[in-house]
Amino acid sequence: MVSAVVSISYSPLNVRNEDRNSWSRSTGCSFLRSFRTFSISSVDDEQARRIRRVACACVAPPQDLTPAKSIGPQRLENLSVKELGDESDVLIECRDVYKSFGEKHILRGVSFKIRHGEAVGIIGPSGTGKSTILKIMAGLLAPDKGEVLIRGRRRHGLISDEEISGLRIGLVFQSAALFDSLTVRENVGFLLYENSTMPEDQIAELVTETLAAVGLKGVEDRLPSELSGGMKKRVALARSIIFDTTKDAIEPEVLLYDEPTAGLDPIASTVVEDLIRSVHMKGEDALGKPGKIASYVVVTHQHSTIRRAVDRLLFLYEGRVVWQGMTHEFSSSTNPIVQQFASGSLDGPIRFELKLFLSVNEVGSAKAYSL
């Protein structure tokens, strides 16, 4: 059935078209990309639900969950207590995930597990598929092959807002991805204004409290254009951790951060890194309350973020996890790929291409050289 409008149109919040388009561009979100190509009236209910979910700070419950073969009853019987314990605390598992874009084979058999309570970093050279794997974990992109298991249950396809208990997964985009035409209050409360039955004044109160938890006060009525880069990232973080307090059961939440400190100065980076720690269940937010995030994953290039915000690292290279270990093991690793990446050396197994275009005068004809 074709729905006349998506949430954005009947929403109490009035998001401009150009805002939606720039949101889609900055997040690279496939739903929004496909959404751009639809006229509003050609978006069906299912797409409308997905778009609403993605737009709402990308907090998405998993859908279409069926038990994975590997932890079916037969296997459970054969598992030792230790193995069983090992499986039971796994929140997200990527199993042999492949993803290509046209001829570009980006992920070529990525496997890893994210356990309850973990703070994991994903690092690796540019273009190696770090953001892609985050989007696959969040349910915004579907793998071509392989499986994503959420608490041991296989997720089919992409997210929707079907209520299936399990795990809330939030994605904090690198660009902050705020709607420019909405105030900070509307951006942070977007999910609740759109999807909850909470009265507006209660949402406003919760927004203020959540902003305070990320160290922001009195900015509710500002527009994103009136904020610094670091403040925008904090608003995006607030948008990701806010949830409907009227719901009975609050599911644990995993937050996925895509380069949360990119473009920030060292001090602003430290603020964001500490904030990431503070909203984790092992941390304490700016109001002194324990954080609510069960586990998180951070894609980053920043050494400070690796050191300060995560405990365990996955190193992605040429479409696979080539190394994993604790953060303190990173700099002493003997893996040549890790050593080269850690030192920033040009010599080593990591291939890169720097093309120098020399003038016709210098070489007779213009040539590209790979260094």
| Interaction site with ligand ATP (CB under 6 A) | 28, 101, 104, 106, 126-132
* Residue 122 beta carbon to ligand ATP: minimum distance, rounded to whole angstroms: 8
Nearest Cα neighbor of 94 from 299, 321, 257 is 321
Which residues have CB under 8 Å from 79's CB, separation 6+?
87
* Residue 257 beta carbon to ligand ATP: minimum distance, rounded to whole angstroms: 12
β-strand 168-172 against 59-60: which pairing, if any? antiparallel
**Of 182 and 310, CB closest to ligand ATP:** 310
Question: CB count, 10 Å around CB of 67?
Answer: 12
Residues 156 and 162: their CA atoms lie apart, in Å, by: 13
Q: Are 69 and 149 in contact (CB under 8 A)?
A: no
Q: Are 301 and 280 in contact (CB under 8 A)?
A: no
**Of 13 and 316, CB closest to ligand ATP:** 316
**Of 238 and 272, CB closest to ligand ATP:** 272
At residue 268, what is the residue type? Answer: A
Q: Are 92 and 167 in contact (CB under 8 A)?
A: yes
**Of 108 and 282, CB closest to ligand ATP:** 108
**Of 104 and 351, CB closest to ligand ATP:** 104
Residues 153 and 141: their CA atoms lie apart, in Å, by: 17
